[in-house]
Amino acid sequence: MVVPIIINNSVKYLLSINNRRSIFSHEKLNKLANNTINDLNYLYESEDGKTIQTNSLDAIMDELKSFKLLTNELKEGMSNICQDIEEMLRKKQTGFWGMYFRFYDALNRVYPYTQLLNDGISLLNIASGGKYLDAGCGTGNSSVEMIKRGGDVVGIDYAKAGLDIARKKIRFGDLNKPLPYDDNAFSGIFCNNVIYSLEQPQKTIDQFYRILKQNGKLVVATPLAGSSIFAIFIEHYKKKGAINTLSLLPHFIILGLFTIIIKIKRDKGIYHHFTRESLISIFREAGFREIHSKISYAGHDIIVVGQK
């Protein structure tokens, strides 16, 4: 199976950059990676992205608990993840996105992710007092950054788990349906790593065009077809060093596995693959002009910006 191969390659790379100071067992990390992949694949196949199976969560939690690393930071990280999973089990929290969002904010400590937010939001040229939509706001990371730059920000997301974490978001809504906003309502819209999961991306982009003011900008970031999640790990290591990277290893493993599941869904046609050309095409179809693109997130994402 290709997924364990991806993780095994990640393990080998991590060991190669840390060969002078072996702080963990290759066999134990390998076992964690393979068993957790199998558990998550079982989760995906058995619930088709809708309901997380308790026995699969138990299996993941057992693997995480058995993963004995020899640094306090790593032990603390794994312990916190186990506690989060235990809490979800107690609350019987279900749904792929419910579990994903529980770990998502760890990305705020990942250098390529912070660069993605900066790259995308900078393209909006936020003006103080302007009204901006964070479309698919998730846990609110993009909204916070837009507010810092002076925008009056409204968030919308279908995943209640993300909104529960964000708490500052204004409404629950479905980007697959007509948006509950007036024409020409926003100065700019940021849609970060959402469009691939929509039923009909073209219809959503058309809705974005409708609710944008004249000369308003739409910025969309989405994973590129064929992109590597491992590149995010490498880029973070290059910028932050081995100690910082190892302290985030538990989160890299968990978020990496979720990203792989999302990729599996794209490969199965449940979600959408985008190239630079295909994403620009739906911008043009909606009527946008002055369309530009750039690569971000360590080569994982394409960002496209267009003006109404």
pLDDT tens digits along 159-194: 665 556 555 445 567 898 999 999 999 999 999 999
Mapped onto helix, strand or coil, the DSSP state of residue 133 is: strand
DSSP letter, residue 195: G
What is the C-alpha to C-alpha distance for residues 104 and 156, in angstroms, rounded to an integer?
Answer: 17
Tokens 């849609």 sit on residue: 191
Q: What number of CA atoms fall less than 13 Å from residue 45's CA on the CB side? A: 6
Q: Whole-model pTM?
A: 0.70
100 CB contacts (<8 Å, ≥6 apart)?
A: 258
The whole-chain average pLDDT of the chain stands at: 74
Mapped onto helix, strand or coil, the DSSP state of residue 134 is: strand
Report for 92-101, 149-158, 160-169, 252-261: range of highest mean pLDDT: 149-158
51 or 190, which is more confident: 190
Q: For the domain bounded by 111-225+274-307, which CATH number is listed? A: 3.40.50.150
Q: Where in the chain is the domain with CATH 3.40.50.150?
A: 111-225+274-307
What is the C-alpha to C-alpha distance for residues 59 and 220, in angstroms, rounded to an integer?
Answer: 36
- Token duo for residue 44: 């995906």
User: What is the rounded average pLDDT of the residues 27-40?
Assistant: 50
User: What is the rounded average pLDDT of the residues 227-235?
Assistant: 82
Confidence of residue 141 (pLDDT cuts 50, 70, 90): confident
Q: Pick the closest to residue 136 from 89, 186, 187, 179 (CA basis).
A: 179
Q: Assess whether pLDDT exceeds 70 at residue 72.
A: no
Mapped onto helix, strand or coil, the DSSP state of residue 221 is: strand
Element (H, E) at 40: helix 26-47
Q: Is 194 exposed, middle or buried (0-12, 13-18, 19+ CB in 10 A)?
A: buried
Strands (E), 117-199: 131-135, 152-157, 171-172, 186-192
Residue-wise over 238-266: b if at least 16 C-beta within 10 A, else e? Answer: eeeeeeebbbbbbbbbbbbbbbbbbbbbb
What is the C-alpha to C-alpha distance for residues 152 and 159, in angstroms, rounded to an integer?
Answer: 22
193 or 78, which is more confident: 193
Element (H, E) at 85: helix 72-91
Torsion-angle region of 230 (φ positive above 0: left; ψ -120 to 50: alpha; else: beta): alpha
State pLDDT tens for residues 237-287: 889 988 888 778 777 777 777 777 777 778 788 889 899 999 999 999 999
